[in-house]
Every structure is written in C-alpha cells, then in structure tokens.
Amino acid sequence: MFYYYKYKNNLLFSLHEYRGFSNINEDIARNHVQPLFFLGKLPPSKSRMSFALSDPTMIYLQQESVNLLKYTKLERPLQSWVHEKILKHQVVFINTEYPNWEDALERSTPKKWNINIIALGDIGSTLLIGLRLLSNGAIGKIGLFDKNTVNLERWEFEINQTFPPFNYEGHPEVTIIKEEDLTNCDMLVFCAAQGYGIDKKKNNTDVRMAQLEGNSQIISYYAKMLRNSQFKGLFAVLSDPVDLLCKKVYLDSNRDTSGHLDYKGLAPEQIRGYGLGVMNARALYYSKKNPKLNHYAAEGRAFGPHGVGLVIADSIENYNEKLSEQLTESALNANMKMRGIGFKPYVAPALSSGAYSILATINGQWHYASTFLGGVFMGANNRLINGYTELEQLNLPENLLKRLRTSFANLEII
C-alpha cells in the first residue's frame, strides 16, 4: 500500500506514512507528467540521499550494497503504472533520514555547465585541454584556481589562444578565479596533489595509496569550504586515491565543528570519483593485443577502485575468470610500466577518467565513475539523469559478483 502526497508543488509517494504533507489520491499521482518522488528511510551512513529508480525491485530496497549492480527479478506485487514510470525513469528515490533531504527535490542539470578546476599540475592542465577541445558547447565557463599564480597566468594565456581556424564559437570561456569564488559553479574538480616519493626498487609500490595521507589533508580543507558554502553542485575528484578521497570529502563535509557527523554537508551523490575510466581504457588497450580478449570492447566491464581492488570482467555474458584476472593485472600495473620507461602516467588518466568521463556525466551518457554505494565509493558504469544517478544493473555471474563483494569489503575496511 502506498501513501500519496503533495508537497511544495512536488508529488510524493511512500510505503511509510508521513505527516505534514497534503494527502492526494492515487489517480493524481498516476496522471502526473513530471517525475514522482518516492520517499524511503535508509541509514545515511550507508545510503544515498537520492538516486534514480532504474528498476522496480528498488522500490522495496532495504539496504544499499554491491548487490545493486546485479539485476534481480521483481517478486513482490507493484501497481502497473508505478512499474511503467520506473522503467521510464520518472521516479526518484529520496531518503528522508537525511536532515536536509528536501534539497534533493531540487536537483537538476544545467543546459551549459560552469566548471571550476582546483590545481593545474599535470592532471589539471591536461584535463583543461581535454574539456576545452571536446566540450562541444556543453560547458559555458571554466574557472581556474591554483596556489601558483604564475602557472595560472600561463594556462589562462595558452588555453584562450587555442581555437580551430574560422570556428570561434562554442568554446568555453576560461578565466582565473579567486578561492572565494570556487564554489560558484555546477561542478568543482579537485586535481590537487601533494608531492610523494617512490621507491624504484619496489616495482609493486601502489603510488595511489602512497598519496592518501597528503592528499587527504588538502581535500579536507575544501570539504569544509563546501559545507560552509552549502554547495549544491557536483564535486569531482581526480587526485589519487580517488575512491578514498571521495569518502574523505563526504565524511569531513558532514561533520560539525565538534567533529560530530550531522549529515548536513554534501549529499553523497554530489561527490564523484573519476579514476575508473582509464582502467577501462587500459583494459581495452591490452585486450586489443590478445586475440583471446578482443571481445572486451563489446562485452566487458570495469568495476571497483582506481587501484588495488580493481575488477575487470572480460565479458558479462561469457565471463572467463582467468582471462579477466589477467586483464585486471595488466590494467592495474600499466602506470608502473609507464614509470618504468621514465614518464609520469597522467595523460590517459586526465583524458579517459577526466575529460571524457566528465563530459559524459554532464551530457547524461553512460560512463565510469565512483559513486556512493553502501558506505563506500565504488566505481561502476553509471549515468546522470536530470541530476540523479542511475547505476547500470547487469546479469552478473556469481563468480564475478564474488570478486565485486571482495573489492567492496576491502574498501569498507580502509
């Protein structure tokens, strides 16, 4: 049995009875042409504030976990019109256990995005180039911020002299911004990183994890800034370790001055980690070099963190665990191979994980990114629909799902 309500020009329905809303009948909800909001109650520490209901089974969701990536059949009755609206992406889940859950009723996507970038090192500057060249009118403005003012001047100067011949329209305006203007945007992209050392004698050094402590300190500063400014846009993380820094931002932005988690900062779905895109691209690179793996482009998927715990599946329909583990190891160690020939591996991450994936996000297309799932940020194929995240659900074989559960459990521990 559903309860139906009207609240601030929005139509809501729920399995729970709520007070303070105007009751409406089912016919009004059935004939409503705008998205419906389904109200549920899940623990904030393990659940998102809002997300797109992409499958009818999710209406009965009791907890979020890696199992959300697996398609399941609906085994409980559901009104046919509700079922149809869910399949048409016309229903959004709102978690009313968040104190500021009403903010989720106002999510939307702009026609042209304004994007600000923090730090123009190797990653940030390459990302800037990619966004400038590939935006195709999707980005209105790009703001640049860096502690190094000379570097700022360099990139503002260079990038604003980058045009194709006789085609000067549709390229985002690029300007230098002050720190106090960082949150005046639709997406704030974090590319800052603290220096770190690498032991060249240890070829298995996880460079991403080596950056955790230093980059956590930097990102914590911005997390508090986002809370204080009541930031409503998306916060994108490109610095390593992507997935863990996302969680750091979520926790620190949701702590009050005494350190208590009050969940009044960023909603978890406002934070997205861009690291898995290059792992997919690296898997694709190696799959093309092996005739036994050339089906990856059409059948494969990437999951998990940008680093240890990565899960590459050679095929969803015809999953081969041995080949998948081989491809996973190749993708995982590609950065060390680049370092071995004397170069820092930043071009492919900045473009595959960064520019291409960010543009896919703002254009509502499927892409790889880490989003909040059951208390951790875990990478998977997803898309942004009218401001709400939809995770891809697949018929995952049990041995692949087991690998995903292990990766998920390891992220929970850290």
The percentage of residues in the chain with a pLDDT greater than 70, rounded to a whole number, is 97
Mean pLDDT (whole number) for 295-317: 97
pLDDT digits (tens, 9 = 90+) for 18-48: 999 999 999 999 999 889 999 999 999 999 9
Q: Is the pLDDT at 98 greater than 50, yes or no?
A: yes
Mean pLDDT of the chain: 95
Nearest to 296 by CA among 319, 329, 277, 274: 319
Tell me the pLDDT band of 241, cut-offs 50, 70 and 90. very high
Residues 373/96, Cβ–Cβ less than 8 Å? no
Mean pLDDT (whole number) for 282-309: 97
Query: Kind of pairing, strands 376-385 and 367-373?
Result: antiparallel
Q: Is the pLDDT at 353 greater than 50, yes or no?
A: yes
Q: Is the pLDDT at 206 greater than 70, yes or no?
A: no
Q: Is the pLDDT at 202 greater than 60, yes or no?
A: no
> Could you tell me how many residues make up the chain?
414
Q: Is the pLDDT at 406 greater than 80, yes or no?
A: yes
Mean pLDDT (whole number) for 107-136: 97
Tell me the pLDDT band of 212, cut-offs 50, 70 and 90. confident
Q: Is the pLDDT at 263 greater than 90, yes or no?
A: yes
pLDDT value for 200:
47
Mean pLDDT (whole number) for 214-230: 96
Whole-number Å distance between alpha carbons of 92 and 32: 14
Tell me the pLDDT band of 258, cut-offs 50, 70 and 90. very high
Residues 180-183: contacts with CB within 8 Å, 24+ apart?
181/116, 181/143, 182/116, 182/118, 182/143, 182/145, 182/222, 182/225, 183/116, 183/225, 183/226, 183/229, 183/231, 183/233
pLDDT value for 252:
98
Q: Is the pLDDT at 196 greater than 60, yes or no?
A: no
pLDDT value for 208:
64
Q: Is 8 left (phi over 0), alpha (psi -120 to 50) or beta?
A: left
What would the DSSP string read from start to end of 24-54? --HHHHHT--SPEEEEE---TTTS-SEEE--
pLDDT digits (tens, 9 = 90+) for 127-183: 999 999 999 999 999 999 999 999 999 999 999 999 999 998 889 999 999 999 999
Mean pLDDT (whole number) for 194-208: 56
Give the SS3 label for residue 381: strand
Mean pLDDT (whole number) for 5-20: 94
The percentage of residues in the chain with a pLDDT greater than 90, rounded to a whole number, is 91
pLDDT value for 205:
53
Residues whose CB falls within 8 Å of the CB of residue 50, separated by 6 or more in sequence, listed in order: 92, 93, 94, 95, 101, 104, 107, 267, 269, 388
Dihedral sign, CA of 192, 302, 269, 366?
positive
Against a cut of 0.75, is the pTM above it?
A: yes
Query: Which tokens hold the place of 17?
Result: 């009875």
Mean pLDDT (whole number) for 107-127: 97
